Amino acid sequence: MASKEENRDAVAERKPGISEPAGRVGTLHRLLKLTNRLMAPFSTHLSHRYNISLNEFRLLMAIGRTGASASHELAEHTGVNAMSVSRAVATLERNGRIKVETDPSNRRRKVLRLTEEGARLYEVMRPQTQLVADYLVDGLPEADIAKLDELLGKLIARLEAQDEQGRSLFIESTKPAEDQDA
């Protein structure tokens, strides 16, 4: 592990805007960059053509893959916060892409299902997601893909861990210092 002085030296040697910072912060920046790059085909090829936002796309694809789901299940499945899910659900419903129904086995539960139009759109956009997935890992050995999947699973589990009161350990552990007393 690098000392603080070595990290400072590495930062001092970097040219602004040319390379990523070293260490854990650099890893975070590369993950964020990867996420943004993975969304480029969506915004280039799908967003405007089908008048769909990124969160609407995520939910539509999740419902298409998993079947009827409740909003909170989709929030957990996608990692999108509940407020963004709610807005996306409202827009998808208004645009006739999903329908909200009462679950016959639990009258308090509302499930989201694709409409005929939503199912059509899912089938149109599904090949694009496969192209992105294939391009991302093409040329990597299967062992590397499996290791990447394992690491992603561990990172997601860490970010989703909760304390005994159901609070996010991640959110609680990353509070700014001025919020620690609140």
What would the two tokens of residue 63 be?
A: 């419902």
Helix, strand or coil for residue 98? strand
pLDDT value of residue 113: 95
Helices (H), 42-115: 48-50, 54-66, 71-78, 82-94
Q: Which domains does the chain have, with CATH numbers?
A: 49-127 (1.10.10.10)
The pTM of the whole model exceeds 0.85: no
Q: pLDDT (tens digit, 9 = 90+) per residue, 87-133?
A: 999 999 999 999 999 888 888 889 999 999 999 999 999 999 999 99
Element at 171 (helix H, strand E): helix 169-173
Indicate the Cα dihedral angle 55, 61, 64, 69, nearest 10°: -40
